[in-house]
């Protein structure tokens, strides 16, 4: 199978190289179609590769703050209508295990801003019934397939009565078709507090774009940071799996990068393309490494990116993939 591989910026090439080496060590039927992004917009070559392969694995891409070009991550999501952003949040050292579904193409992230004057700017925010239905249905379907007990919808409909009101009403309508799954809704500020106080009360979380983005990082902070959280961007046809953290230019090229976020994203990719046993085996190797303190320095270990890569490969050689078949 051909998979588009996007090294990205900053530490991206290092963690992508690590992930590629680890996956290649499992000798799967995967061929990499490597594409570099060096411009401010998506190239035809990259777009054609993703359209052809249907699956991509990408490192972090740099986004200028307060000026410059539109986020390449947003460009990818909008170009391929990747309306579902899926982020499992599992603590590798404890039993905290929740999942976030974030609408990925609407809200303020459409990037429509208007200059009224030198002292006033406006931003448009869009919420549609179709996109809301897609992400909320995806959350309920995941809960149903994985025997999850509850879906929590996050909103600010007390203030944004039309846009968030629509998202909330769609959630209530859809929940009626899933009688075996508990449904609740929380205002986003209360949700943040509840996550900090007692994250174990939540199971599957679904939210509009901005809230989902913020909650993802909050939840990442509960389990050790963005370096251990995977992410997937999904449409009916295309799946792009990515590290959810930034480019970390301060440590780029120093062999200090932690590849776990991208490795766990690669596990999601392996699940998606049918290598479920290999995904389980890789997750086990990663979890063993974390619990044995065999990690990079940001997680308290002693490994460089290179030596951590070698360690995981050695662990995979010890494990038997047949024992991970359902």
Output Rg (C-alpha) for the chain, integer angstroms: 20
Rounded distance between C-alpha atoms, residue 261 and residue 98, angstroms: 16
Secondary structure letter of residue 84 according to DSSP: E
Decide if 1-90+226-326 and 95-222 have a common fold.
yes
How does 65-85 read in b/e, with b if 16+ C-beta sit within 10 Å?
eeeeeebbbbbbbbbbbbbbb
Per-residue pLDDT of the chain (326 residues; tens, 9 = 90+): 999 999 999 999 999 999 999 999 999 999 999 998 877 788 899 999 999 999 999 999 886 554 445 778 888 998 999 999 999 999 988 889 999 999 999 999 888 999 999 999 999 999 999 999 999 999 999 999 999 999 999 999 999 999 999 999 999 999 999 999 999 999 999 999 999 999 999 999 999 999 999 999 999 999 989 899 999 999 999 999 999 898 999 999 999 999 999 999 999 999 999 999 999 999 999 999 999 999 999 999 999 999 999 999 999 999 988 889 87
Identify the pLDDT of residue 322. Answer: 86
Dist. CA 23–CA 262, nearest whole Å: 11
- What is the distance between the alpha carbons of residues 271 and 279, in angstroms, rounded to a whole number? 6
Compute how many other C-beta atoms are within 10 angstroms of the C-beta atom of residue 45: 10
C-beta of residue 59 within 8 angstroms of C-beta of residue 262: yes
What are residue 185's DSSP bridge partners? Answer: 153
Domain boundaries, the chain: 1-90+226-326, 95-222
pLDDT at position 63, please? Answer: 64
Residues 166, 183: Cα–Cα separation, whole Å: 16
Q: Report whether CATH 3.40.718.10 matches the domain 1-90+226-326.
A: yes
- How many residues does this entry show for the chain? 326
Q: What pLDDT is recorded for position 74?
A: 85
Q: How many CA atoms lie within 13 A of 321 on its CB side?
A: 12
Selected from 3.40.50.10240, 3.40.718.10, 3.30.360.10, 3.40.50.620, the CATH number assigned to the domain covering 95-222 reads 3.40.718.10
pLDDT in tens, 59-96: 998 865 544 457 788 889 989 999 999 999 999 888 89
Half-sphere exposure for 201 (CA within 13 Å, toward CB): 12
Helix, strand, coil percentages (3-state) for the chain, rounded to 5, are 45, 20, 35
State residue 38's pLDDT score: 74
pLDDT digits (tens, 9 = 90+) for 172-184: 999 999 999 999 9
For 98-128, write each residue's pLDDT tens digit: 999 999 999 998 889 999 999 999 999 999 9
Residue 325: the pLDDT is: 84
């Amino acid at each position: 199978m051909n998979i588009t591989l996007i090294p990205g910026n900053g530490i991206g090439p290092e963690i992508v190289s690590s992930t590629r080496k680890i996956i290649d060590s499992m000798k799967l039927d995967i061929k990499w179609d490597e594409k570099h992004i060096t411009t401010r917009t998506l190239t035809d070559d990259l777009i054609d590769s993703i359209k052809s392969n249907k699956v991509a694995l990408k490192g972090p891409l740099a986004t200028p703050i307060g000026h410059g070009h539109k986020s390449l991550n947003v460009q990818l999501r909008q170009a391929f209508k990747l309306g579902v952003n899926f982020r499992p949040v599992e603590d590798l050292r404890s039993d905290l295990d929740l999942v976030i579904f974030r609408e990925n193409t609407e809200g303020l992230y459409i990037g429509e801003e208007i200059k009224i004057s030198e002292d006033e700017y406006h931003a448009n925010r869009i919420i549609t019934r179709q996109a809301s239905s897609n992400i909320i249905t995806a959350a309920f379907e995941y809960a149903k397939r994985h025997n999850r007990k509850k879906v929590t919808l996050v909103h600010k409909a007390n203030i944004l009565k039309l846009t968030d009101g629509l998202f909330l009403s769609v959630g209530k309508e859809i929940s009626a078709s899933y009688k075996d799954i508990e449904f609740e809704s929380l205002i986003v500020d209360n949700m943040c507090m509840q996550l900090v106080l007692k994250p174990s009360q939540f199971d599957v979380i679904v939210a509009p774009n901005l809230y989902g983005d913020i909650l993802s990082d909050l939840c990442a902070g509960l389990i050790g940071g963005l370096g251990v959280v995977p992410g997937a961007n999904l449409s009916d046809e295309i799946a792009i799996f990515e590290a959810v953290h930034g480019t970390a230019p301060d440590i780029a090229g120093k062999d200090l990068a932690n590849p776990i976020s991208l490795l766990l994203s690669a596990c999601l990719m392996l699940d998606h393309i049918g290598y479920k046993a290999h995904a389980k085996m890789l997750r086990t190797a990663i979890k063993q490494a974390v619990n044995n303190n065999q990690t990079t320095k940001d997680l308290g270990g002693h490994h460089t990116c290179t030596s951590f890569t070698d360690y995981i490969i050695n662990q995979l050689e010890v494990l038997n993939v047949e024992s991970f078949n359902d």
